[in-house]
Structures are given as C-alpha cells and as structure tokens.
C-alpha cells in the first residue's frame, strides 16, 4: 500500500506535483500574498472575495492556501506567516477531505440546485475549524437562477463563512455579485519568474532544457504557469533533454511573435511573408480567432500609446476597423483569409506604408485619430 502511494506521488502530473502549498511558494502574486498574510493575522477577513485573472496564474491555488491559513491553529497560536501544513486541518484541506472547506467547479455544476446544496452547508457550524470556506471556480459559468440564489446569501452572509469566487471572465458575472465581493486581480506570471520556475522544475525532474526551447515555452504559455508546466510535462515524457526539435509533435498555443510579424508584414506589403505566416498558422492548427484577437490587442496598445508616426497610426486604425468586422460570429470559417484579402486590397490603393518599428520621429496622434482610438474601448 505504501509503495502504491509513493508511486502515485512520483507519477502525478507536474502541475499537481509542484502546486504551491503555502504563501511563499506562490509565483508572481506578491501583492496578494502580502495582503492575505496581513488580513489573516489581523483577523480582518471579508465575507466574499472575487479572484480575477487568466487561467493558470494561481487563483485556485491561492484560494486553497487561504482556506488552510484561516483554519490553521498554528498560524494564530505562534503568529506564523504560513499555514503549518502539519496540523489535521491543513492535511484535510490538502487531501480534499475537510468538512469545512467546500469547492465546486461551476463549469460542471451550473444549476441552482448545486448552489443551494452549497448554501445549506454554510448554515452548519464549522466542525473543527474557525471558518467555513466555499470556493466556486469558474463562477461565470453559473446559470442566472444560480447567481440569484448566491446573491441572497451574499446579502446576508452567515457568521464565520467565507466565499471565494474565481473567474477568468468577470464580464459574465452580474454586477450585484461583483459589488458584494472584494475584487482581487491576479497578474500574468512574468517571463523572468516563469523562466526560473520552469528551469528549476526541469532540473528537479533530472532533465535539461536549451535556451531556445525555454523561450518557446515562455512565448506559448503567455504568463500561465499551468500552461508552461503542462508543456514541460509532455516534453519530458518523450525525452529528458528538451530542445527546439522536441516541439515538432506538440500542438502549443500561438506565440506572441506571430501576430506581431503578421502586422509588420501587412504594413510593409510583404505578400510572400504574409502567405508564409498564414500557411504556418494553418500547419500548426492554431485558431484564426486567436490570431485576430492577438492582433486586436497589439493594435489597441499601439494606437492608444501614440508613440508611432501619425501616418502609421492611420493605417493601424484602418486595420483595427477591418479586424472588428471579422472578429464576429458571422465569419466562422476562412475569416483570416477574408481579412487578409480585404487588407491587401485596401493597401494596394495606397502609396507607401511605413514600418511600425522604423519610425524614429515620434509625434502625437492627430485629434481625429485620438477620437477613433478612444472608441476601441
């Protein structure tokens, strides 16, 4: 039995094996770690927190650590900054067996009955803890009736009950829920932190990784620790030595360099390079929707930033307006080809197109373009 347990621990997915179990190991969220440490030691806890951020940046991990810390007797007794991970309460939370910490995934439990069942548990006093903690992951997936049921208890929360609501899309959550929660934003993990963490895990797994392969992983994961570790996990199953060629079989997310390059070649009317990039996107089976959304994000930054030449900004606004047209449900297929075709047709009527990176003379965006730029929000 003990050998089976050891084998299971060794063969766990890497994102589970290296999931932080205390505040000091949480990656890239120092502002929130500091906030919760002070709040818990001073016993100033809100009744509802809303964790907002992209996937894989530590929202669920942080919620479990907070649940442990709130109910860890050693933290209060010895005024520690971390849960001890040794007391019965901490061990039960780690094993998912705590009677006072309840976690549901709203992506699979969307109905009102699921929320009612959770609310019923909050009316019972904590069994052997100070707080009952209810963690609702992917809360934006709840039905309207489920949101209404949750709202009632948030309006009159029971004593010693904490709700931690987790989302990657706050726009889909009713304002009444958001306004009754303390909103905490989780940042994408910095490339430096991600590089250090990935390199360390590869070393702990007795592997090696080249600099080019590491950069590829950083580009593909886009600030998501879980995405980076999942890529490492798949690569290490093939070979302990990770290099650029190891990615040939792997379907990874689109790196940031692709939309940047496409935009650059569109402005310079380099048709050959444009076709090459489109073919590469199709070969890698990357989503056309993802590419268009990436380009929209880049254009937002460049138009509003005002650091490019006014003429360049005019072309950027043209591209933005066409992107808006094709980033819709009416163009589910071949949207990228149609978008590129329309752009090439538009640009063929113009004389010259300055490169985004070749403009040294920085000027302010003209007033008319400023108005158009504001509208992109």
Average pLDDT score, the chain: 77
Cα-Cα-Cα-Cα dihedral of 141, 147, 150, 156, to 10°? Answer: 140
Domain with residue 143: its CATH number is 3.40.50.300
Q: How far is CA 317 from CA 65, 224, 333, in A?
A: 45, 30, 24
Strands 161-167 vs 208-209: parallel, antiparallel or unpaired: unpaired
pLDDT for res 311: 56
Whether 228 and 276 map to the same domain: the answer is no
Domain with residue 240: its CATH number is 1.10.8
Show which of 185, 209, 240 is a domain's final residue: 185
Residues 198-253: tens digit of each pLDDT: 999 999 998 888 888 888 888 878 888 988 888 888 888 777 888 877 666 565 56
Whether 57 and 147 map to the same domain: the answer is yes
pLDDT for res 353: 44
Whether 99 and 199 map to the same domain: the answer is no
Q: Is the pLDDT of residue 183 over 90?
A: yes
DSSP 259-324: HHHHHHHHHTT-HHHHHHHHHHHHHTT--HHHHHHHHHHHHHHHHHH--S-HHHHHHHHHHHHHHH
When pLDDT is averaged across residues 303-324 and rounded to a whole number, the result is 65
Per the structure, the complete domain to which residue 79 belongs is given by: 2-185
Q: Distance between CA 85 and CA 92 in Å, rounded?
A: 10
Show which of 170, 185, 200 is a domain's final residue: 185
When divided into structural domains, the chain yields a total of 3
44 Cα distance to chain centroid = 28
Whether 157 and 58 map to the same domain: the answer is yes
Whether 165 and 40 map to the same domain: the answer is yes
pLDDT for res 272: 76
Whether 180 and 219 map to the same domain: the answer is no
Whether 146 and 197 map to the same domain: the answer is no
Q: How far is CA 67 from CA 99, 301, 307, in A?
A: 12, 38, 46
Strand partners, 49: 164, 182
Q: Distance between CA 32 and CA 213 in Å, rounded?
A: 31
Whether 281 and 222 map to the same domain: the answer is no
Please answer whether residues 257 and 220 qualify as being in contact, where contact means their C-beta atoms are separated by less than 8 angstroms. no
pLDDT for res 326: 61
Residues 6 or more apart in contact with residue 170 via CB below 8 angstroms: 50, 52, 140, 178, 183
Whether 57 and 95 map to the same domain: the answer is yes
Show which of 160, 185, 210 is a domain's final residue: 185
Strand partners, 161: 132
pLDDT for res 93: 87
Residues 6 or more apart in contact with residue 75 via CB below 8 angstroms: 40, 41, 69, 81, 82, 83, 84
Q: Which of 31-40, 203-212, 249-258 has the lowest mean pLDDT?
A: 249-258
Q: Is the pLDDT of residue 304 over 80?
A: no
Whether 242 and 167 map to the same domain: the answer is no
Q: Which of 182-196, 233-247, 315-329 has the lowest mean pLDDT?
A: 315-329
pLDDT for res 346: 63
pLDDT for res 134: 92
Strand partners, 166: 51
Q: Distance between CA 164 and CA 181 in Å, rounded?
A: 9
Whether 129 and 195 map to the same domain: the answer is no
How would you class 133 by CB atoms within 10 Å of its CB: exposed for 0-12, middle for 13-18, buried for 19 or more? buried
Whether 35 and 152 map to the same domain: the answer is yes
> With pLDDT > 70 as the criterion, what percentage of the chain qualifies?
73
């Amino acid at each position: 039995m003990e050998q089976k347990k050891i084998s299971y621990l060794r063969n766990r997915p890497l994102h589970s094996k290296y999931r932080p179990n205390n505040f000091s190991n949480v990656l890239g969220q120092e502002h929130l770690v500091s906030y919760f440490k002070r709040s818990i030691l001073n016993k100033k806890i809100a009744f509802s927190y809303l964790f907002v951020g992209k996937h894989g940046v530590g929202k669920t991990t942080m919620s479990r650590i907070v649940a442990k810390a709130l109910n860890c007797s050693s933290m209060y007794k010895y005024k520690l900054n971390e849960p001890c991970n040794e007391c019965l309460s901490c061990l039960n939370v780690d094993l998912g067996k705590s009677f006072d910490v309840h976690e549901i995934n709203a992506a699979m439990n969307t109905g009102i009955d699921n929320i009612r069942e959770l609310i019923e548990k909050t009316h019972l006093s904590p069994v052997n803890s100070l707080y009952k903690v209810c963690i609702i992951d992917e809360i934006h997936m709840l039905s309207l009736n489920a949101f209404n049921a949750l709202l009632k208890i948030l309006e009159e929360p029971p004593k010693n009950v904490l709700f931690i609501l987790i989302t990657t899309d706050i726009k889909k959550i009713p304002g009444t829920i958001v306004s009754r929660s303390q909103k905490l934003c989780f940042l994408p993990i910095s490339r430096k932190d991600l590089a250090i963490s990935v390199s360390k895990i590869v070393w702990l797994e007795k592997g090696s990784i080249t600099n080019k392969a590491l950069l590829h992983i950083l580009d593909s994961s886009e600030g998501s620790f879980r995405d980076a570790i999942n890529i490492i996990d798949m690569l290490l199953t093939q070979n302990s030595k990770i290099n650029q060629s190891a990615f040939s079989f792997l379907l990874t997310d689109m790196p940031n360099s692709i939309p940047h390059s496409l935009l650059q070649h569109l402005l310079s009317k380099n048709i050959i390079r444009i076709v090459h990039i489109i073919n590469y996107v199709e070969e890698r089976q990357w989503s056309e929707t993802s590419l268009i959304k990436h380009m929209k994000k880049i254009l937002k930054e460049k138009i509003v930033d005002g650091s490019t030449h006014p003429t360049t900004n005019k072309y950027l606004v043209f591209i933005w307006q066409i992107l808006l047209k094709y980033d819709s449900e009416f163009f589910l297929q071949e949207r990228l080809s149609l978008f590129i075709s329309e752009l090439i047709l538009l640009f063929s009527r113009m004389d010259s197109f300055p490169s985004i990176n070749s403009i040294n003379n920085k000027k302010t965006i003209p007033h008319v373009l400023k108005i158009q730029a504001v509208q992109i929000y």
